[in-house]
Structure 1
Amino acid sequence: MKSVRKLSGILAAIMLFAFASGCQKTENTSSVDRTGSTPTINPIQVAALKGPTALGMLNLMNSDKETENYEFTIKSKPDEVVALLTSKSADIAAVPTNLAATLYNKNSSVKLLALNTLGVLYVLEKGDTIQSVKDLKGKTIYSTGQGAVPEYALNYVLEQNGLTVGKDVTVEYKTEHTELAALMAADKASVAVLPQPFVTTVTSANADVRVALDLTKEWENVNHTTLTMGCLVVRTEFLENNQPAVEQFLSAYKESAKKAVSDVEGTAKLAEEFDIIKEAVAKKAIPACNIVYIDGQDMKTKAIGFFNVLHQANPKSIGGKMPDENLYYINK
């Protein structure tokens, strides 16, 4: 009970991180100034999800050296960002990587600009018995994200290690990260798959819970591709009419992402300021959030490898088919 009470206090501070829809600040638009060689009549509209995919742009959002070229909107759910893109209320967006393929396969309305977040999924254990994936045999794993990347990633890693879900391993899914985190604290779940920052939330609240496996590393061990959870996309029409401005944004975003990694304390403060996540949790979670900036041919290679695995697991996860070459934006 002591762990539950301790955990509930932390969860109360960040439970809007991934799923909340009622936070006023989330729905507001944040403006940031930016100078550049390509003037635009209206600010470029940039959308992001309230989570790891937004962390890389925090320093850009906070920049005080620029002039109103960008307006940022932070949303809680992927479908809210999709609505902004389809209504042309957003020009550029940070979204789950598989969503880029889904949107493209629907009507070629977006292009993939860069990968910005690698895997953020971890296996947590209350105890010290899990040292490898094979040690999960015979166990019940609690997870979130059924029908989405977390399920496909977990199943793939298990299968590649000779474990079959339903036979060798039992997986039970919960709707919300907060629910699963509370179960671990209450000794009702001993093994769980959770994303950051909920990993940090649980391990900070309960010293008996540890990170047993990094699913990103386990994915790479069996596939030699990269588990990519987040990316930047642009509306195809906007790119065709504003390519220099898009290039300018990418350059600024790249520097912002680098600073997120190199200046964790400063970025953690911004995470709370922009209502993404509380500073104390962000400070511990950011180093494990795999914030990156990968574009060009390397982006394409990593994305194709990721999409191939998802397509084999469930074609619907990427819109029914492998996207063609035109999804990928590579400035030659």
Structure 2
Amino acid sequence: MKKTKVISILVVIVMIFSFIGCNDKSNVESLKDGEKRIVKVFVPEGVPSISIAKLIKEKPEVKKNYEVVYETINSTDNLVSKVLNKEADIAIVPSNLPAQAFNKGLDYKICGTVGWGNLYLLSTENVDNISQLKGKEIYNIGRGLTPDIVSRYVMKNNNIDPDNDLTLTYLNGATEIAPAFISGKAKTAIMPEPMITNVLSKKEDAKIGISINDEWKKITDSKYGYPQSTLIVRDELLKDHEKFVMEFMNQINESILWANSNPEQLGEYAEELKMSITKDMAPTVMKRANLNFINIKDCKDEYRNFYKVLEEYDAKSIGGKIPDEAIYFK
């Protein structure tokens, strides 16, 4: 009788561990022998693309039977389309886009931050603190877009009313704001990298006065600042191919560490891949690019603060409301 009981208990234990094993998604191998999973990764041209230049150039294997296909997108509208149409398995996107996609019911999760704020105030006048901006005309990219919202937030929290204390002039993008500054039409402007490095090389009397991200950190008591470029992954990939995703995230981190430590070689890769920076520009760009991969579990507060600021200014910028915790990969 005792022997029968022992055998029964052992059978139950084996069944329990078998059940646990079957439901542990991290151990699931979804691909059959000989089956290949194509993973489409989209990234916008600029600092986000150079964050994974090493991966695009060298194409290291992430995991057996997985093929990663990279595509660099020149237009923000095209990138948004890739995400909203669910063409992207993985994408690096402007950090308000995940909230918009989530509020539309799309199945993407935020897995981490690739790049933090790299907006700077550039001027041909003596401006090295925000209080000196009163009464000046400031050029920026796109009213109501992220550069405008975060800049306004920084101004307001430094006792400057953007609408009454400043003259704000908005242009459509880099193709307009850089020429306006270089020609002397704009004396003060807010720009990101790598545009700044390009402009400084052509405008000797210009200098960087203020880091918008540094000011954001002071105001919000944030360790990193505001998230500018975000890594998102489709739910299906996370649920059925979690080991692959975790290894891919490791490779992104390694790529960024390499880019920060090897800017000259990064420049060579960027030139070969026809990206927006040259070998000569790369070392200077990387000093201000603020590339630093942080897993979402370590930077949720930065997103909560960021989305709160965007909602207060214009809820449409995040799709109508602050997304709940389900947007974050756990």
Q: Give the match for residue 261 of structure 1.
A: 260
Relative to structure 1, the CA distance from residue 199 to residue 65 in structure 2 (aligned partners, 3 Å threshold; closer, same or farther) is closer
Q: RMSD of the alignment, in Å?
A: 1.8
Other structure's SS at 2:155 match: helix
TM-score, L = length of structure 1: 0.84
Quote how far apart the aligned CAs of 1:117 are: 0.7
Query: Partner of 1:192: helix, strand, or coil?
Result: strand
Residue of structure 2 in register with 1:24 after alignment:
none
Alignment partners' CA distance in 2, 1:230 and 1:275 = 21
Which one of 189, 194, 217 corresponds to residue 192 of structure 1? 189
* Corresponding letter in the other structure for 1:208: D
Aligned 1:198-213 pairs, distance under 5 A: 198-213=195-210
Q: Which residue of 1 aligns with 2:316?
A: 316
CA distance in structure 1 between the partners assigned to 2:173 and 2:296 by the alignment: 35
Distance in 2 between residues matched to 1:303 and 1:271, nearest whole Å: 29
Residue 232 of structure 1 corresponds to 231
In the other structure, the counterpart of 2:13 is: none
- For 1:23, the equivalent position in structure 2 comes to none
Change (3 A) 1:273 1:63: same
In the TM superposition, what are the counterparts of 1:15-54 in structure 2 within 5 Å?
Answer: 41-54=36-49
Further displaced range: 42-51 or 175-184: 175-184
* Maintained 8 Å contact 1:108/1:236: no
> In structure 2, how many angstroms separate the alpha carbons of the residues matched to 1:252 and 1:223?
30
Within the candidate set 81, 84, 96, 1:83 is matched to 81
Give matches, 1:1-332, under 5 Å. 41-63=36-58, 65-66=60-61, 69-128=67-126, 130-225=127-222, 226-279=225-278, 280-330=280-330
Whole-Å Cα distance in 1 between the matches of residues 306 and 165 of structure 2? 25
Instruction: Provide the TM-score with structure 2 as the length reference.
Output: 0.84
Q: Following TM superposition, by how much is the alpha carbon of 1:122 offset from its aligned partner in structure 2, in angstroms?
A: 0.6
Q: Aligned in 2, Cα 1:233/1:65: closer, same or farther, shift over 3 Å?
A: closer
Using the alignment, how far apart are the partners of 1:282 and 1:47 within structure 2?
22
Residue type matched to 2:218 in 1?
Answer: N
**Does the C-alpha gap of structure 1 residues 242 and 64 become closer, same or farther in structure 2, counting only changes over 3 Å?**
closer
Change (3 A) 1:65 1:51: closer
Whether the 8 Å CA contact 2:30–2:240 is kept in 1: the answer is no
Q: CA offset at residue 99 of structure 1?
A: 0.6
**Counterpart of 1:22?**
none
| SS state at 2:281 partner | helix
Stretch moving more, 135-144 or 74-83: 74-83
Measure the CA separation in 1 of the matches of 2:51 and 2:82. Answer: 20
Q: Whose radius of gyration is greater, 1 or 2?
A: 2
Query: For structure 2, which runs of at least 5 residues remain unmatched after alignment?
Result: 1-28
The change in CA–CA distance for 1:168 and 1:325 in structure 2 (over 3 A counts) is: same
Counterpart amino acid of residue 248 in structure 2: F
Matching residue of 1:33: none
Contact 1:139 1:169 in 2 (8 A): yes
State whether residues 59 and 270 of structure 1, in contact with CA within 8 Å, keep that contact through their aligned partners in structure 2. yes
Q: 2:178 & 2:94 partners in 1: Cα distance? A: 22
Mapped contact 2:30–2:241 kept (Cα < 8 A): no
Distance 1:210 1:239, change over 3 A: same
CA distance in structure 1 between the partners assigned to 2:73 and 2:266 by the alignment:
19
| SS in structure 2 of the partner of residue 127 of structure 1 | coil
- Name the SS for the 2:135 alignment partner: coil
Matches of 2:318 and 2:252, distance apart in 1: 26
SS where residue 139 of structure 2 aligns? strand
Is the 8 Å Cα contact of residues 38 and 245 (structure 1) preserved in structure 2? no
Q: How far has the Cα of 1:254 moved from its partner? A: 1.2
Q: Secondary structure at the match of 2:322?
A: coil
In the alignment of these two chains, the number of paired residues is 293
Change (3 A) 1:174 1:65: closer
Q: 2: distance between equivalents of 1:134 and 1:52?
A: 29
Q: Which runs of 5 or more structure 1 residues have no equivalent in the other structure?
A: 1-36
Report if the CA contact (8 A) 1:38-1:244 is conserved: no
1:165 Cα offset (Å): 1.7
Structure 2 CA distance for partners of 1:126 and 1:265, relative to 1, 3 Å = same
Give the distance between the partners of 2:99 and 2:60, measured in 1 at CA.
35
Deviations 1:303-327 (A, max 9, x none): 1121111111211111111111110
